Structure 1
Amino acid sequence: MTVYLHEGDLPDGLDLGRQVAVDSETMGLRFRRDPLCVVQLSAGNGDAHVVRLNRPDYDCPNLKALMADQDVLKIFHFGRFDIAMVELHLGVETGPVYCTKIASKLARTYTDRHGLKDVARELAGIDLSKAQQSSDWGAPELSQAQLEYAASDVLHLHVIMNRLNEMLVREGRMEIAQACFDFLPVRARLDLIGFEDDVFAHTWAR
């Protein structure tokens, strides 16, 4: 495994293929309080590219172009948050997308454990460490431990996606999964405008 650190943007000419795993790191989980600090990507070849973003300008044309490229599938785990952060701070709509958390909920109905750590352990045979999850991602320099953590969140998403697709096809749920993925950027935009609650929910009057 090689982890490449890029300051500000992806390098010119970098080709990550037609399916790229993506994750992000922020200073917290509130959209307008906590900035987007890092975006990490992998082509599924065992290497990871970690972009430490320049804040607050977010001048990263190559990364923006990749996120908006309709010919490149972006693979996330809990993409709802990452997609919203990218739209808020980079100003682009991410697509097309695949979310392994949604796929897991539709395929692995025998469990309620759909976090990346649990999914990776079962489907990829990988035991992920979450020790750096709550570290300072806005620091002027990222530690080696942070880089390795960021990489670990994207290195196995291709394998996980392929295993989940097999399960979705087997259970006849691939079509509904794709519909969920297509809706995900809209769900992320609802979060950004203040509709974090389920707009489809209904409380029956008694």
Structure 2
Amino acid sequence: MERVMNTSQALSQGAITLHRNDLPDDLTFTHSIAVDTETMGLNPHRDRLCLVQISSGDGTAHLVQLIPESLGGTGYNCPNLKKLMANPDITKIMHFARFDVAILQHALGIRVSPVVCTKIAARLVRTFTDRHGLAALCRDMLGVELSKQQQTSDWGKTELSPEQMTYAASDVLHLHALWAKMEELLRRENRTELAQACFDFLPARAQLDILGYETPDIFSHRSS
């Protein structure tokens, strides 16, 4: 089988760059990055991590495709990506961070911190609605329409389609702007400190999920 090279590929979309197996050595980020993941499913013990999307909020997206050794890649041997995700000086902006942090920590063997989550923020301040999905928030707060057509496509392929890459990038390109709106609402509703406490707990909550403590919930009073 032909081995997939660990090189970066500039795509025709312009603002999207695909990196196979790891981030390049000369790519740097500061302050904060938007992060999302694509997996083969929603069970981190069964379903592998396939793609990690990153944006620094400048309108560009970097997609890191993690290819198993059996398919010619290097698996989860991605030191630059691991270093970035674990960097304590770079805030990771996510939507539904509970899942993304869990899959990243489980697959890469790192602690992902610090993290902020636009979904948690939305649930804390947008109590007048149950519309807390990323597409709904981008539409309501940014006037941006996100397509979810590729959400359930096969992310395990070694060759991703342009449509898949465009979809994957869209999930991080607007997170900085969305988080800025959320920060304003958290301050307005006096819930910034509460939100931060929730964010600080996310790595531990994700570890509990990986260990199987989602059900039963160890914080529940009910005993079995």
TM-score (norm. length: structure 2): 0.89
Using the TM superposition, name which of 112-121 and 195-204 deviates more.
195-204
* Residue in structure 2 matched with residue 61 of structure 1 by the alignment: 79
1:20 CA drift (Å): 0.0
Q: 2:107 aligns with which of 74, 89, 95?
A: 89
TM-score (norm. length: structure 1): 0.96
Q: Which amino acid aligns with 1:163?
A: K
* Residue in structure 2 matched with residue 200 of structure 1 by the alignment: 219
Using the TM superposition, name which of 7-16 and 185-194 deviates more.
7-16
8 A Cα contact 2:67 2:158, kept in partner:
no
* Residue in structure 1 matched with residue 27 of structure 2 by the alignment: 14
Q: Which amino acid aligns with 1:120?
A: C
* Residue in structure 2 matched with residue 120 of structure 1 by the alignment: 138
Q: 1:33 aligns with which of 31, 46, 61?
A: 46
Q: 1:148 aligns with which of 150, 166, 169?
A: 166
- Measured in 2, the distance between the counterparts of 1:14 and 1:81 equals 26
- Measured in 2, the distance between the counterparts of 1:164 and 1:117 equals 15
1:107 CA drift (Å): 1.2
1:200 CA drift (Å): 1.6
Runs of 4+ displaced beyond 3 Å: none
1:155 CA drift (Å): 0.3
Q: Could you tell me which runs of 5 or more consecutive residues in structure 1 were left unpaired when the two chains were aligned.
A: none
**Matched positions, count:** 205
Q: Deviations over 1:12-53 (max 9, x none)?
A: 121222110000000000111100000000000010000101
Q: Which structure's relative contact order is higher, taking Cα pairs within 8 Å and 6+ residues apart?
A: 1
Percent sequence identity over aligned pairs: 55
Q: Which amino acid aligns with 2:76?
A: Y
- Measured in 2, the distance between the counterparts of 1:189 and 1:55 equals 23
Q: 2:183 aligns with which of 161, 165, 168?
A: 165
- Measured in 1, the distance between the counterparts of 2:138 and 2:221 equals 34
The answer as to 2:108 corresponding to 1:111 is: no
Q: 1:50 aligns with which of 58, 63, 72?
A: 63
- Measured in 2, the distance between the counterparts of 1:148 and 1:140 equals 16
* SS of match in other structure, 1:129: coil
8 A Cα contact 2:39 2:47, kept in partner:
yes
